[in-house]
Copies of this chain bind each other. A is one copy, B any other.
């Protein structure tokens, strides 16, 4: 299985790194998680320079594609040349986004007729793009999912893991990061809901 995390300059640190960490707790030899961007390195909002593993042009070949968040989503969503490089297939791929990454899903036409969530600061923009925005931590509609805010990345990563390997592998991976004494949970139960 191939997972592509889509990264760009100014990405929200935890929105990339939480998913990245959780996916590596699956520990299946066939799982490859790669950070894809438009440069050799991208710098996070908090200043970390991270080497990419490949180009966004390779996202179309992944089984799961997860978009990062950050201020850049507001400009990238209006960049037709950028969007045209993805050519994703929601009939075959699992596609998700953290926070303002939902704008890119909308720009790619992936939220047409679907409910979605996003960070409070991008609710209005997403709504203007014709998306039904709901105030929930995580929304999955078919093979397209959105999560907001940062700690809901646990739900998004869990969804991706379950899509690839089933609920038992998801539970085992997420249990590892639960605070001691709090116990394992699935999905929103992670936060004790």
Interface residues on A, range: 35 or more
Complex interface residues of chain A between 165 and 193 (CB less than 8 A to chain B): 176-182, 188, 190-193
Residue of A45, A47, A120 ringed by the most chain B CB atoms within 10 A: A47
Complex interface residues of chain A between 53 and 71 (CB less than 8 A to chain B): none
Complex interface residues of chain A between 23 and 59 (CB less than 8 A to chain B): 24, 33, 45-51
A176, closest chain B residue (CB): B149
CB <8 Å contact, B117 and A180? yes
Judge if A150 is at the interface, Cβ distance under 8 Å.
yes
Judge if A155 is at the interface, Cβ distance under 8 Å.
yes
The 5 closest A-B pairs by CB, nearest first: A192-B192, A137-B179, A17-B17, A150-B177, A152-B179
